[in-house]
Amino acid sequence: MCRIGVGGAAVGGVQVILRATSGLLLLVALAACGGGPARTPAGTPAVTLELSATNSVFDKAQLEVVADAPFAIEFENRDAIPHNVAIQGGGAGMTGEVFGGPQTKTHVFPSLPAGSYRFVCDLHPEMVGTLLSVAP
C-alpha cells in the first residue's frame, strides 16, 4: 500500500507518476490558454506574402499563392517615393494603396483562379513581377 504525504513526499514510484502527470496537465493548460500554434483570425487570409521595394525595384520577381483562396501581401516600401502593388488581370479589388515610405502596409486580395498574373507598381510600370496562382 502506497501513501502520499503533504508537500510532495510520496512512497515508491508514486511521486514520479505525480510529477509526470503534473507536467502533462501544465502543457495541456498552456495549449488551451494560447500556448499552442498561432491561429489566423477569422476573415483573414491564411497566406500573407512579403514583398518590398528598394530603389524602385521589387525584391522578388515571382510570388505564389493557392488558387481560389484570398491572400494578403505585406508590402514594405523602403523608398521615400510612393509605390503600390496591383495585380493585373485579376479583376476588381486587385490594387493596393499607394503610399510613400519608409513604411509597411498589408493589402488583402480576393481569390484568383489558377493561372499566371503580373504584379506591378501603378506609378512605376518598370516594377513588375509574376504572381502564380496554383491549384491546391
DSSP code for 34: I
pLDDT, tens digit, 9 for 90 and up, residues 80-107: 999 999 999 988 789 999 999 999 999 9
Mean pLDDT of 30-39: 35
**Is the pTM here over 0.75, yes or no?**
no
CB atoms within 10 A of CB 2: 10
The grid coordinates of residue 4 equal 502520499
| Dihedral sign computed on CA atoms, order 66, 67, 72, 77 | positive
Give the list of residues 6+ apart from residue 120 with CB closer than 8 angstroms, or none: 85, 86, 88, 127, 128, 129
